[in-house]
Structure 1
Amino acid sequence: MAPIAISPPPVEAKQARPSFQRANTANMGTKRKIICFSDFDGTIFMQDTGHTLFDNFGCGPERRAALAHQMESGERTFREVSDELYASLDVPFDDGFEVMKTALEIDPDFQAFHEFCVNNKIPFNVISAGLKPVLRRVLDHFIGEDMSKHIEIVANDAKIAPDGSKWEAVWRHDTDLGHDKAQSINEYREVAKMQSDNGTIPMIIFIGDGVSDLPAARECDVLFARRGLKLEDYCEEHGLPYIPYDTFADIQKEVIKIAQVDEEKTHGRGLPATFNPRANMWRRVSSRAAVPVFAALSPAKEEKAFLWPETFTQPATIKNSEDATAAVAAPVA
């Protein structure tokens, strides 16, 4: 007999947000292609979808914390820990989703930002180690299927028994991570036309909140780190360039500013602006076809971001959005 779904903990009433003028989501009219990559849990949504399921319908928070410690110590791999977590679930998908509907809170300005991306033909990609069916169902509910279909989700698939008695991740790759983001890059690179007809190089933006986002974040041109959380703390401590944000409205304002500065640099000098030279090796995309979707680059051993974070440091420091804008627009010698 399937267990009765556990009721979610009471959700505190949220205070009404102060009235504000909705951000303009119209087309900017700039020429350079922009590609957005974003973490899901803790970034688009304030809570973690997997944690919600495991704590309510699986092993519980104490065992989950013990497994996380085993992964961080190197005793077990991310894939091994995740397999045990998913195996602990015993709930029909729909019942689990009902809890997520009340337990999850979306960034209040994400929908407007995503509309801005659609109107400006900016591909928006979710990069996640989670389960694609779960993430898609959550997005469909919170932003609607018509808008959700514009978001590419690069994540693992899943096999879920109709009665919820068995959950199994279908890993994208046969690695310790299950989803090797570096391999995803190569897979998408094969689809892309590597040489643009006008030399324009897409601007890569990454949005995240935690240290686990760092392997992907360090390959982008512009990094947005949620204010007050671990990714920002790490960037401050190690001098990594980033732009802090509270909501996606802050990100939209900075993207418009950066795109306008880049447009002036590009057309005023008659030469394309140059960005991160490491990323330029793979980011030349043909403008003859639709912009392909990429998965953000990260090392084959993503958990090393937790164990040996000093490996992922860079010398430059950018502490405010004005400096970041100038640095992004400036050509690399």
Structure 2
Amino acid sequence: MGAQPAAELSAMKTNPKFIFFTDFDGTITLQDSNDFMTDNIGYGREKRRQGNLDTLEEKITFRDSFREMMDSVTKPYNECIQYLVNNIKLDPHFTKFYEWALENNIPVVVLSSGMEPIIKAILKNLLGPSADKMEVIGNFVKARPGKTINEERGWEIEFRNPESGFGHDKSIELRKYSSLPESVRPTMFYAGDGVSDLSAARETDLLFAKKGHDLISYCARENVPFTVFEDWYTILEKCKEITEGKTTVHDAAREGFEAYKSGTAGLKA
């Protein structure tokens, strides 16, 4: 199968020179909505955190660990959405970044291992009408046999790529863009924080990995270049430097490992 034509890719409609792909939970938001549900109305933080660690150590796939997390949440789906809308907060600097991106023809695309209806509801609550300009690509939700999703134990996650150990293999979407001819291929950014981002880590020109989180441990172990971010102010300033030609994605990508080795990435080398 050949590469998909640029005209068929939604984020290429305005012929951008840059595209920003991003994880959602714990990256755009201050809390991970799936972790928040699991910790508070599922089987709890201790078991959830062990699943994250087991995934990093390749003892279990992310898909299977995440399914166990979601299966532990038994409240009706509409109640879960409202619970998260009431509790999940936006990174305080994301709105400014998003406004800058819209003004500069830089599409922002959410690639998430969470469920699209939850993500869209949270974004709509946090960003208002401009949230509709952001493409969201994630997993789905479906009713369990004989039930509806809005009843107790009535729903389950439906993975976008069920054959993949990631459930949603973000690299599949990213490669549609990275495989474009050089004459039209945009520079690709990606921001993430955890184990759901492992499939995306190698696929973009510059990976922003959140300070103190699991993605940095993986990148350092696998020699994947990255730069560290604390919040979206950090990302905005770095993107401005790159788009204005003051630095390159290659220079920025070297910074992360140096920060990891020096201890300023929030994790011990």
Fold similarity call, TM over 0.5:
yes
Compute the displacement of 1:244 (Å). 2.9
Counterparts in 2 of 1:107 and 1:177: CA distance versus 1, 3 Å? same
Aligned to 1:269: none
In structure 2, the partner of 1:171 is 159
The Cα RMSD (Å) is 3.4
Matches for 1:305-324 after TM superposition, within 5 Å: 317-318=254-255
Matching residue of 2:130: 147
Unpaired segments ≥5 residues, structure 2: 1-14, 144-148, 259-269
Matched-pair contact (CA < 8 Å) for 1:204–1:221: yes
Amino acid of the residue matched to residue 153 of structure 1? Answer: V
Moved more, 44-53 or 155-164: 155-164
TM-score, normalising length: structure 2: 0.73
Distance in 1, Cα, partners of 2:173 & 2:226: 24
Per the alignment, do residues 57 and 252 of structure 1 end up closer, same or farther by CA in structure 2, a change over 3 Å counting?
same
* Cα offsets for 1:55-92 (capped at 9, x unmatched): 23222334434544554565543333333332232212
Instruction: Return the match for 1:210 from 182, 194, 204.
Output: 194
- The answer on whether the counterparts of 1:205 and 1:221 sit within 8 Å (CA) in structure 2 is yes
Higher Rg? 1
Aligned residues: 236
Provide the C-alpha distance between the structure 1 equivalents of 2:215 and 2:64, rounded to a whole number of angstroms.
25
CA-CA distance at 1:49 after TM superposition: 0.8
SS of match in other structure, 2:109: strand
TM-score of the aligned structures, taking structure 1 as reference length: 0.60
SS of alignment partner, residue 86 of structure 1: helix
Q: How has the CA–CA distance of structure 1 residues 139 and 195 changed in structure 2, closer, same or farther, with 3 Å as cutoff?
A: same
Assess if the C-alpha contact under 8 Å between 1:89 and 1:167 holds in 2. no
The equivalent of 1:222 in structure 2 is 206
- Structure 2 partner of 1:162: 150
Q: How far is the alpha carbon of 1:110 from its aligned partner?
A: 0.4
Q: Please report how far the alpha carbon of residue 35 of structure 1 lies from its aligned counterpart in structure 2 after TM superposition.
A: 0.5
The superposition leaves residues 236-266 of structure 1 with CA deviations (integer Å, 9 ceiling, x where unpaired) of: 677654333332122222212211117xx9x
Q: Which residue does the alignment assign to 2:240?
A: 256
Q: Distance in 2 between matches of 1:80 and 1:241?
A: 27
- 1:180-199 Cα offsets, whole Å, 9 max, x none, are 2333346x46xx99447xx2
| Aligned residue type for 1:84 | E
> How far is the alpha carbon of 1:211 from its aligned partner?
5.6
Equivalent residue number for residue 45 of structure 1: 29
Aligned mates of 2:138, 2:226 — CA distance in 1: 25
In 1, the alpha carbon distance for the partners of 2:156 and 2:197 equals 24
CA displacement 1:106-132 (0-9 Å, x = unmatched): 110101111111111211111111111
SS in 1 for 2:189: strand
User: Residue 113 of structure 2 aligns to which amino acid in structure 1?
Assistant: A
Which runs of 5 or more residues in structure 1 are unaligned? 1-30, 266-272, 277-315, 322-333
